[in-house]
Chains A and B, each alone.
Chain A
Amino acid sequence: MRWLAGLALGAAVAAPFVLSSDYALHLAVMACVYLILASSLNLVMGHGGLLSLAHPAFFGAGAYAAALLAIRGAPFLAGLAAALALAAAAGAAVGLPALRLSRHAFVMVTLSVTLLFQILALNWTTVTRGPMGIPGIPLPALLGVTIATKTQFYYLMLALALACIASVVVVTRSPAGRALMAVRESDVLAAALGINPLRYRLQAFVIAAAWAGAAGAGYAHYISIVDPSVFDFYWMESLLVMVILGGPGSVAGVAAAAVVFTAVPEWLRVSQDLRMVLYGAILLAAILFLPEGLSGWLAARRTARALRAEQARA
């Protein structure tokens, strides 16, 4: 597992030297955006067991925050920090009431939040310019270096993605992550043992929202325009495919799925509309046949083998 992670990291760092076309580099940048979004959503969905459809809302909120600050001349890091803070605050504001609801109600509320944010972006024209969006977002500068080429953007987003994945790993290996998974298994039992379910769910929800906001900031600078399509359901469906097929609760599985499902649809050259249909079919099949994703299926096989070995010894 460790050498596999090292190999993946090496491949990620070397990617710009191997990828020949601009288009391939573009996909690599998008893979990093998806890595941040899927890994952070995995904390909520996989470790927390909460199906949240609000992730695009926090992503878009971060994108708008960074865009609005950047066109007014704010430095990139200030915009990034603001995007992170705004998304975290939105996460707390949504999570605090929504996490008290039943599982089904939570799904509906988080879906409504994404729709609401899109309506807000479309109609609050004095700030967001509505469907016209905010064009002309300047190139970010970091430590005096202007991030201009796709390769530079790639390394910036890769750094963000690695920081995100590292933070998810730290959280899941900490007592807070253990509490979060215990609450996922049974909130009643967890509470009876002194674990406050709301506290740990909210923590995870806010951390994930903050990372979605950071991804939004990076994305906004990269494509240099933000419009209400950042809240499109297309994002949500892609993220669901990545988390569910990668295996909810598996950091490596979801990371791998994020890269694969950024690249594969592009190579297959399917149109966006057809992709939505295909993703829908894949999701249905995965939920029916692989409810714990590919990595969950592999882990179950390992456990079964270990149990058989134990029985054979006994």
Chain B
Amino acid sequence: MLEVRGLGRAFLGVAALRAVDLTVRPGEILGLIGPNGSGKTTLFDCLTGMQRPDAGRITFRGQDITGGRPDEIARLGLVRVFQNVRVFGRLSVRENLLASGQEHRERMRWARLPGLPRLARAERADLERGASLLARVGLAGRLDVPAGLLSYGQQKLLATAMALMTRPRLLLLDEPVAGVNPSTIEMVKAWIRELNAGGLTVLLIEHNVEVVTELCGRIAVLDAGEKIAEGPPEAIRQDARVLEAYLGR
């Protein structure tokens, strides 16, 4: 699904990523962990075109996307959810969902004018999908609320629903349960598992060790910009280099 080879990225000579190799297999949930500042978010930025890597290659479904434009990469089906909450604050939840889905329909160059039946049909279908996503996370009936007025946790759920509106093939989640209350954490866990069972491949950054070990079949560990370990959760827990990175010498 996704192949990263020798990825490097430096800021003013300080290496944020050093020759990182990473493979995401179709249908899996791959966990990405590492101490603060180890380069996880920089890696996501490089994968989604928000930063240009200095070295290495990124291949997504057989296509070289290294240094591609963010919107082009997203239209290929590689979509991220940000760590800090991002929604279109002054637009209603409805408009947030529609805006997220509309670049991912089948080519409809001539059906982009309001009032055309084809556009109305497509938007109705998108809205139905959006409403069922909202219902899944307990936000049913909030379609007309400006997204900026939702609570922090609700905005986070909406942001994930918006990413799903794009019909991604690979979803990058950056700390989906950080700052979220315990009952919501359980719901998000079940949701991710459900989506994965439905065929969605997930690359997950998460600090909550419990969540990562429960969800992920494999875990990759970054430390100071280098991948220091990769494997099933049990092996990672006992890896000497991982323990050293987290606990210090």
> From B149, which residue of chain A is reached at the shortest CB distance?
A307
Closest residue of chain A to B113 (Cβ to Cβ) is: A174
Contact of A185 among B50, B70, B74, B88 (CB under 8 A): B88
How far is the CB of A144 from the nearest CB of chain B, in Å? 33
Q: Which residues of A contact B104 (CB under 8 A)?
A: 194
- B113 near A170: Cβ-Cβ < 8 Å: yes
- Whether the pair A188, B88 counts as a contact (CB closer than 8 A) is no
Task: Tell me the minimal C-beta distance from B138 to chain A in angstroms.
Answer: 14
Most buried by B among A174, A185, A194, A197: A194
Interface residues of B in 96-154 (CB under 8 A from A): 96, 98-100, 102-104, 112-114, 119, 146, 149
- In the assembled complex, the Cα of A176 lies from the Cα of B114 at a distance in Å of 10
Q: Classify chain B's interface size.
A: 35 or more
| Assembled-state Cα–Cα distance A189/B89 (Å) | 11
Cα–Cα, bound, A179→B49 (Å): 19
Q: Would A189 and B103 count as touching, CB distance under 8 A?
A: no
Given contacts A170-B113, A174-B113, A307-B149, whether A192 and B99 have CB atoms under 8 Å apart is: no
Q: Is B103 a contact of A192 with CB atoms below 8 Å?
A: no
Q: Which residue in B91, B112, B113, B166 is a CB contact (below 8 Å) of A194?
A: B166
Q: Which residues of B sit under 8 angstroms from A196, Cβ to Cβ? A: 69, 71-72
Q: In the complex, how many residues of chain A place their beta carbon closer than 8 angstroms to a beta carbon of chain B?
A: 23
A178, A185, A194: which contacts B90 (Cβ < 8 A)? Answer: A185
Q: With A178-B102, A196-B69 as known contacts, state yes or no: A186 contacts B86, CB within 8 Å.
A: yes
Pair A197/B114 contact, Cβ less than 8 Å:
no
Chain B residue at minimum C-beta to C-beta distance from A49: B90
| Contacting pair B80 A192 (CB below 8 A) | yes
Counting residue pairs across A and B whose Cβ atoms lie within 8 Å, the total is 92
Q: Which of B164-212 contact A (CB under 8 A)?
A: 165-166
Q: State how many angstroms separate the Cβ of A205 from the closest Cβ of chain B.
A: 18
Is A123 on the interface with B (CB-CB < 8 A)?
Answer: no
Query: Are A303 and B146 also in contact (CB < 8 A) when A178-B102, A194-B74, A196-B69 are?
Result: yes
**A181 vs B73: C-alpha distance in the bound complex, in angstroms?**
21
Q: Does A41 interact with chain B (Cβ within 8 Å)?
A: no
Q: Which of B74-93 contact A (CB under 8 A)?
A: 74-75, 79-80, 82, 86-91
Interface residues as binary, A196-235 with B (CB distance below 8 Å gives 1, 0 otherwise): 1100000000000000000000000000000000000000
Write the chain B residue with the least CB distance to A193.
B100
Q: Give the Cβ gap from A37 to chain B, nearest Cβ, in Å.
A: 24
Question: Is there an interface contact between A193 and B95, defined as CB atoms closer than 8 Å?
Answer: no
> With the chains together, A179 CA to B48 CA distance in Å?
19
Closest to A186 in B: B86
Q: List 17 A-B contacts (CB under 8 A).
A: A170-B113, A178-B98, A181-B91, A181-B95, A182-B96, A182-B99, A185-B89, A188-B70, A188-B82, A190-B71, A190-B88, A190-B99, A191-B49, A193-B103, A194-B79, A194-B166, A195-B71
Residues of chain A having any CB pair with chain B under 8 Å: 170, 173-176, 178-179, 181-182, 185-186, 188-197, 303, 307
Seen from chain B, the residues whose Cβ lies within 8 Å of a Cβ on chain A are: 48-50, 69-72, 74-75, 79-80, 82, 86-91, 95-96, 98-100, 102-104, 112-114, 119, 146, 149, 162-163, 165-166
* In the A-B complex, the 8 residue pairs with the closest CB atoms: A185-B88, A194-B103, A194-B74, A191-B70, A173-B114, A182-B99, A189-B86, A196-B71
